[in-house]
Structure 1
């Protein structure tokens, strides 16, 4: 279930610079998956979770305060999306059974996934759409919008490809949807959530070391968004050897933190000044910290029995990060289920319901 577990994205919007905005909807239908709802939908704008539905709550709800403004453009938005989502739940349940027949399967754990959405370049006004399906963690079928044909990477999807390729009216519908309706709704999302989507915060960067023989940790915290990188470099060259990069983790205030370790065992004293830790935020802004022994914060004891100046609570910090990682891994790792909310209300039709039942037919 590689695709199911790997849907984790780096995100972020640099303010004041041209940006490709996106709206994406992810649907997941699950069969016999422990501790996971039978059906989940999530919607993301610029990789930020904005909407959610699952078969346990049976309600389509906003996940950002500004998402409530959708009712300004569509007063019954949340009620209508709830009804559509409840209907889609049954469609996905049926599709799992059809897919099992295609793959000559009976019981066991199975996943049907669907993702669609569009991108919009706010400078060039270029748009792009995407629509694809997955089954049990593998690609099943996807739409190539340029050629207006479907790609079937597995033999079991070939009948679906032939059926959908021959339906020229539906292909025209999807092309129009991705280039007009979807983009119109994306622009509304960007307008409503501009303050959140355009937020950009640089981090504080610290050099931490538990003991003189431990790797040196460059720790950046308080940055937003999490589309960022942190790395060590020598002179002007990025280092890849003797470096261990950690994951980006969330802070309690909605910002993020990350760290990267450098092995100092082979480092000569005269070379210290040639090393620096660099934080790079999407959009080009950087924070650089040169390697200097005087700046290292640690908790090892000095000769007088006291603590070395700096970070007394390094162990506590490491413990907190460990607990957080464990918590995140125990939580439902979502395939960001999708929503149908970007459907234009004037069309009166949810594009995902138009042919989702034929995914495996």
Structure 2
């Protein structure tokens, strides 16, 4: 391929990548039995990876978590009524009954039991393609998955066969599930994206700290509270970006709609006199770089041994206990399913 054709080829790729925009509406729902200090039923609504709403039955909470989400409820009060019904009546009852049924099936009279449902849809703004999914997980293990092509349930473990056979005969439930994933979810997603785009996107810089568990542990450069999630973080030495001995973490959501991330630097081969040559760099899209020099005097640690680091690490609470559990489950499912959708929970019955 000659140079001109090569330029054209990359230009086409660049244009395609610029216009290919995908959006996601994801629900995480969790029901529990025998768990202290955690709500019996809670849910999180995510739009494009940002928490839009939160529901907690025990605390009687149902609230939007973004300003643009509040505008939706003002102009579309029927949305609030719909979510109230699902959050406080429909879904809690369904989860209680299902957990009770599964406990009987597995002969589990006592103990802690957790049921999660993760479902929703992804919409390609360019092609119009919509992909939906629903997954159930019981006590931390894959349980059931809905197949939109065959309109049947897939048992992800032998013990789920009983539930699969029962739900496959429920044709009304199947139709509700198909309608949720192919019509209601995309309709809501497009509405939410429209409001999200119309809302002014204010950039919020993070708070950056250097953290370390022990004197020999990697130094973690932790940034939290930034918005939006288009950000990068890396370590550099003498102004040159480092790759060896560096581990970059993923961008994770905080409970307030902002984000956090970390970049770890191994210091085993770094001599004390060279510390000043290392910097942590945080870059927020369209903003100025935040540079933090590797300085032992500002490192925070809980290490109580013989060390010159004696500043305690503050407890960073990014999300509440329930949300953390839900997010952790969603992250595991995302890793397992690869390119499949990972976040979403239908707000109707099966």
- Provide TM-score, normalisation by structure 2: 0.66
Partner residue of 2:341?
A: none
Aligned mates of 2:95, 2:346 — CA distance in 1? 15
- SS class of match (1:120): strand
Aligned mates of 2:70, 2:61 — CA distance in 1? 14
Partner residue of 2:132?
A: 129
Q: Structure 1's 73 and 168: CA in aligned 2 closer, same or farther, altered over 3 A?
A: farther
Measured after TM superposition, the shift of residue 106 of structure 1 is 0.9
Q: Structure 1's 199 and 148: CA in aligned 2 closer, same or farther, altered over 3 A?
A: farther
Q: Structure 1's 161 and 248: CA in aligned 2 closer, same or farther, altered over 3 A?
A: closer
Higher relative contact order (CA 8 A, sep 6+): 1
Measured after TM superposition, the shift of residue 53 of structure 1 is 1.9
- Superposed, 1:167-186 pairs within 5 Å as 167=170, 170-186=173-189
Measured after TM superposition, the shift of residue 201 of structure 1 is 6.4
Aligned mates of 1:99, 1:214 — CA distance in 2? 44
Q: Is the 8 A contact 2:218 2:264 kept in 1?
A: no
Measured after TM superposition, the shift of residue 328 of structure 1 is 4.9
User: Is 1:35 the counterpart of 2:37 in the alignment?
Assistant: yes
Corresponding pairs, count: 305
Q: Structure 1's 63 and 222: CA in aligned 2 closer, same or farther, altered over 3 A?
A: closer
User: Is 1:63 the counterpart of 2:65 in the alignment?
Assistant: yes
Q: Structure 1's 253 and 143: CA in aligned 2 closer, same or farther, altered over 3 A?
A: closer
Residue of structure 2 aligned with 1:261, choices 253, 259, 265: 265
Q: Is the 8 A contact 1:219 1:259 kept in 2?
A: yes
Partner residue of 1:298?
A: 295
Aligned mates of 2:253, 2:51 — CA distance in 1? 16
Q: Structure 1's 329 and 117: CA in aligned 2 closer, same or farther, altered over 3 A?
A: closer
Aligned mates of 2:255, 2:160 — CA distance in 1? 42
Moved more, 254-263 or 199-208: 199-208
Measured after TM superposition, the shift of residue 287 of structure 1 is 8.9
User: Is 1:114 the counterpart of 2:117 in the alignment?
Assistant: yes
Aligned mates of 2:116, 2:257 — CA distance in 1? 32
Q: Structure 1's 202 and 125: CA in aligned 2 closer, same or farther, altered over 3 A?
A: farther
- Superposed, 1:184-199 pairs within 5 Å as 184-194=187-197
Measured after TM superposition, the shift of residue 180 of structure 1 is 2.3
User: Is 1:75 the counterpart of 2:88 in the alignment?
Assistant: no
- Superposed, 1:174-323 pairs within 5 Å as 174-194=177-197, 223-226=226-229, 230-232=233-235, 239-241=243-245, 254=258, 256=260, 258-263=262-267, 265=269, 296=293, 298=295, 313-315=298-300, 322-323=313-314
Residue of structure 1 aligned with 2:167, choices 164, 167, 172: 164
Q: Structure 1's 124 and 296: CA in aligned 2 closer, same or farther, altered over 3 A?
A: same
Partner residue of 1:46?
A: 48
Measured after TM superposition, the shift of residue 159 of structure 1 is 2.3
Aligned mates of 1:221, 1:59 — CA distance in 2? 25
Measured after TM superposition, the shift of residue 17 of structure 1 is 5.9
Measured after TM superposition, the shift of residue 181 of structure 1 is 2.0
Partner residue of 1:324?
A: 315
Moved more, 53-62 or 218-227: 218-227
- Provide TM-score, normalisation by structure 1: 0.65
Q: Structure 1's 230 and 182: CA in aligned 2 closer, same or farther, altered over 3 A?
A: same
Q: Is the 8 A contact 2:94 2:349 kept in 1?
A: no
Measured after TM superposition, the shift of residue 185 of structure 1 is 0.7
Q: Structure 1's 195 and 279: CA in aligned 2 closer, same or farther, altered over 3 A?
A: farther
Q: Structure 1's 252 and 120: CA in aligned 2 closer, same or farther, altered over 3 A?
A: closer
User: Is 1:25 the counterpart of 2:27 in the alignment?
Assistant: yes
Partner residue of 1:354?
A: 349
- SS class of match (1:324): coil
Structure 1: unaligned runs, 5 residues or longer: 1-15, 301-312, 339-349, 356-361
Structure 2: unaligned runs, 5 residues or longer: 1-17, 302-308, 331-344
Aligned mates of 1:61, 1:76 — CA distance in 2? 14
Measured after TM superposition, the shift of residue 104 of structure 1 is 1.7
- SS class of match (1:60): strand
